[in-house]
Amino acid sequence: MKKILTSLVGVMSVVAVANAEPYVGLNLIYDNIQLDKSFGETISIISETAGIGTYETKDLFSNNYFGASIDAGYQFNDYIGAEAYFQYNFESKTDVSISGHEFLPDGKIWDSKSNFMSGGLDIMGYLPLNSCHSFSLIGTIGGGYYYFKNKTDIPLLTLILGDLYQFDTHEHHFGLRMGAGFQYNFNESMSVRALGRYVMWKHDDSYTTTDTFMDDFTPVNGMWEGSIGIQYKF
């Protein structure tokens, strides 16, 4: 993924900057993360042993996140541009509860909190659809660095093991970002755009945890993203 970012910088360096229009933007974001299924299968084995039930990974970790991003870039001409971005997604919580279990008074067997942030660089391609170039289709490809944090309490394992059981996990990946959408220019300065993206990660040794129980688990596989925002050109 680092090679991809290097290539993107190279593309920027050879694009003529005549008539370039710098801009900044603010976007609202929804992300749907694809989660690895293996951990849910592991927890199901443990919970079956405890006589509690079975669960899928999507029951244990949130895969829906809302966030915001800022971007700054250049639109070199009517057809190509480049931008840098920073994105922060707010904390998302997931808990699993059961009723009628005498050893778990509040019924909670799993309590998880997650969030992530990202920064990177994208190449933007524009296809104007009318003569005044007010409406354009967009295609984009780029690379980003993603950092995920999770804190989880597991009363279920506290019950089984007899000790307070919780862990913190961290993941960081370089991801390839690809997407498409549209942009509408209200005037020479203001525009609105909507984009859909898919992000792919190359898994490596970037996963760390405070507990050996989680050593072989990397929950994040990929992500769909939708955004809508405004841009201001100088």
The pLDDT value given to residue 19: 58
Give the list of residues 6+ apart from residue 89 with CB closer than 8 angstroms, or none: 29, 31, 65, 66, 67, 115, 116, 117
The pLDDT value given to residue 205: 47
The torsion defined by the Cα of 53, 58, 59 and 65, in degrees rounded to 10, comes to 170
Count of domains for the chain: 1
Distance CA 181, CA 200 (A): 18
The pLDDT value given to residue 36: 67
Task: Enter the pTM of the model.
Answer: 0.77
The pLDDT value given to residue 215: 46
pLDDT in tens, the chain (234 residues): 555 555 555 554 444 444 578 999 999 999 998 876 665 555 555 555 555 555 655 666 778 899 999 999 999 998 999 999 999 999 988 877 665 555 555 667 777 888 999 999 999 999 999 988 899 999 999 999 999 888 877 776 666 666 666 777 777 888 999 999 999 999 989 999 999 999 998 655 455 555 544 544 556 778 999 999 999 999
The pLDDT value given to residue 16: 44
The CATH number given to whatever domain includes residue 220 is: 2.40.160.20
Distance CA 200, CA 97 (A): 32
The pLDDT value given to residue 201: 80
199: domain range?
2-233
Are 173 and 206 in contact, with CB atoms under 8 Å apart?
A: yes
The pLDDT value given to residue 168: 78
Euclidean distance between the first and the last CA atom of the chain, given in angstroms as a whole number? 32
Reference 178, options 146, 141, 143; nearest CA is 141
The pLDDT value given to residue 172: 81
The pLDDT value given to residue 83: 97
